[in-house]
Amino acid sequence: MATAQVSEILNRGGSFLITSTSPEDVFTPADLTDDQRLIGQTAEEFVQKEVLPNVPELEAHKEGLMAQMLKKAGEVGLLGGAIPEEYGGSGLDKISATVLAEKLAAYASFAVSHGGHAGIGTIPIVYFGTEAQKKKYLPKIASGELLSCYCLSEPQAGSDSLAARTRAVLSPDGKTWILNGQKMWITNGGFADVYVVFAKVDGEKFSCFIVERGTPGFSAGAEEKKMGIRGSSTTPIFFENSPVPKENLLHEIGRGHIVAFNTLNVGRFSLGAYCLGGAKEVLKASSKYSKERTAFGKSLKDFGLIKTKLGEMAIRIYAVESMIYRSAGMIDAAVSSPTPGANKTQQAMQVLEEYAIESSISKVMGSETVDYCVDEGVQIFGGYGFHEDYPVARAYRDSRVNRIFEGTNEINRMLIIQMLIKRSMAGILPLIPAAMKLGEEVLAGPSFEEAPTGAFAEEERSLAQAKKIFLLAAGTAMQKFREGLADQQEIVASLANIAMDVYAMESSLRRAQKALAKRGESASVMGDAARAFVYDAMDRIEKEARTALAASADGDTLVTQLAVLRRFAKHAPIDTIAIRRRVADAVLVQNRYPFEGR
Ligand SMILES: Cc1cc2nc3c(=O)[nH]c(=O)nc-3n(C[C@H](O)[C@H](O)[C@H](O)COP(=O)(O)OP(=O)(O)OC[C@H]3O[C@@H](n4cnc5c(N)ncnc54)[C@H](O)[C@@H]3O)c2cc1C
């Protein structure tokens, strides 16, 4: 393939499945600039000083307190990251926005409220607003003078959001849209001033509107009684013949889905970062507790079964962090090399669309990692973990919703594969030629390609083989089911799991290689984390591929495919118990997540 073609594909979303990137091309937390670190520090200090002291009252839903917290965040510039400077925001690059989201996560209810306002409640106006709408709303949203929210879900339409029943009809004088219907589960619903609302024009054309609190017929219902994130506001919203000025239509009639899905795309990426920050907090609390608590005359931290938990938490956090910052780096690189003459905002939206697969991965892997960490955190705390006076109980409850909102993890898994197929069919991502090439390679029998060398030779080999396994399983499933593959959801989920693990393996490995090249021996524990992740991911990938293949082929074909799979999935054993102990020791020395980015 010509060099230009290779680099073109390298920069495409989803290309990690068929190309190989080099460590220098991967952004890692070690590459953060001082300014980016400072943004993280400001956010962290804000949460520590302003938010955490108020947690008991926030959890008890003290009237107006969360709104007050958000407004204070606005005063120190923490709300306008997504808003361009010309409209009063700080126009943060993606990497800075990622650091910011991560560092706000020490109190999940605040992080969710922040995301509802500064993320999904702001993005639609930034990317789809008219000049007048931007001028009217964005400066006040950036300062916190106006608080916002995003109203897509309805009682009967959550994942299937296009089945919304809320209607908008133009008034007889043509001056206002009359809205009728109900929204459900609206974050910040109880106190927001600006509501980004999706409704169907004439009951048919899915569209988007900006609705202000105080509009006649508008009301917010009672706060929902939630399992977690109790400090955040979640209410239904009602519209009863609510007149909305005609000019408050956002984007075009019948194009609301473009607004909705692109916004969620951005939201998903940030959600992964919030989850990453939350997972680090739990690891910190678990590490501290494991030192304080004794049993059988020993400190908990000295038990192998506690160490393995601390080590595994750190390894999974490391993998998620490596992926998220790598993706943020790719997004920023693409945004900073604009197509000549292109509108800046449009260009940014196109880039975010380009990396929609990586955004879904950020959401799914982030939410499942924080869920894993809170679960093990509770276990480390034992009975005290089950008590509300200890921090992990709340973290456990708070974490669960992340797998549900911003597109459930089931929906996001399906999206990952749907988007890959779509890009492949459109000729953007040459997955089919890659699968055909692999078929030829398999037929030709074992090759005598040069084996990888160096400190991570075995992991490098595993990574290359994992990509082949994806092509083998995906190619077989595509051949069998063709357009019907989407209906084979279990196979689709297995393929998505392989794709996510491949991205995590490569991101973890490249980051460790980059660190090793720069810092030598001092990065050895990071190398350990990458090795353990790659090793375990290979086992998971083999299992997922076996499941998918057995449902996509039979008879002799299946026997052959499984033999090929076994050959690809072979990897030399390593002592992951010793590795986890070393990683746990690093956690315990620092009493927190031990790698840079903490
Ligand atoms: C605390 C909280 C805050 C929220 N904040 C907001 C907000 O600010 N704005 C907003 O618009 N919404 C918000 N939501 C709503 C949230 O986005 C939805 O709950 C979510 O999209 C799922 O929709 P649902 O609850 O109707 O579940 P359903 O769509 O009914 O899903 C139920 C189950 O079925 C699965 N499922 C659904 N469809 C399929 C399918 N095709 N194939 C396989 N499985 C499927 C789902 O994955 C899930 O496991 C919030 C929700 C909560 C709980």
- How far is CA 68 from its chain centroid? 27
* Ligand 1 pocket test target in 117, 162, 165, 405 with most atoms within 8 Å of CB: 405
3-state secondary structure of 235: strand
User: 409: CA distance to ligand 1 center in Å?
Assistant: 10
What is the distance in A from the centroid of ligand 1 to the CA of 159?
A: 5
Q: List helix spans (H) across 47-179.
A: 55-59, 65-75, 94-103, 108-114, 123-128, 131-143
Backbone φ and ψ of 152, nearest 5° = -110, -50
- pLDDT per residue as tens, the chain (598 positions): 333 344 566 679 999 999 999 999 999 999 999 999 999 999 999 999 999 999 999 999 999 999 999 999 999 999 999 999 999 999 999 999 999 999 999 999 999 999 999 999 999 999 999 999 999 999 999 999 999 999 999 999 999 999 999 999 999 999 999 999 999 999 999 999 999 999 999 999 999 999 999 999 999 999 999 999 999 999 999 999 999 999 999 999 999 999 999 999 999 999 999 999 999 999 999 999 999 999 999 999 999 999 999 999 999 999 999 999 999 999 999 988 777 777 777 788 888 899 999 999 999 999 999 999 999 999 999 999 999 999 999 999 999 999 999 999 999 999 999 999 999 999 999 999 999 999 998 888 777 677 788 889 999 999 999 999 999 999 999 999 999 999 999 999 999 999 999 999 999 999 999 999 999 888 899 999 999 999 999 999 999 999 999 999 999 999 999 999 999 999 999 999 999 999 999 999 999 999 986 5
Ligand 1 environment, Cβ below 6 A: 116, 149-153, 158-159, 185-187, 226, 229, 234, 401, 404-405, 408, 410-411, 489
Residue 65 burial class via C-beta count within 10 angstroms: exposed 0-12, middle 13-18, buried 19 and up: middle
Ligand 1 atom nearest residue 228's Cα: 1
Paired sense of beta strands 234-245 and 218-220, if any: antiparallel
**Quick one: which atom of ligand 1 is closest to the CA of 156?**
26
Residue 385 tokens read as 């973990």
Mutate which of 408, 415, 487 for ligand 1? The one with the most ligand atoms within 8 Å of its CB, which is 408
Q: Which DSSP helix (H) or strand (E) runs through 353? A: helix 344-354
Residue whose CA lies nearest to ligand 1 atom number 44: 410
Query: Does the active-site annotation cover 406?
Result: yes
Burial state string for 409-435 with b = 16 or more CB within 10 A and e = fewer than 16:
bbbbbbbbbbbbbebbeeebbbbbebb
CA of 405 to the centre of ligand 1 (A): 6
Question: pTM here?
Answer: 0.96
Q: Which of 406, 458, 460, 544 is catalytic?
A: 406
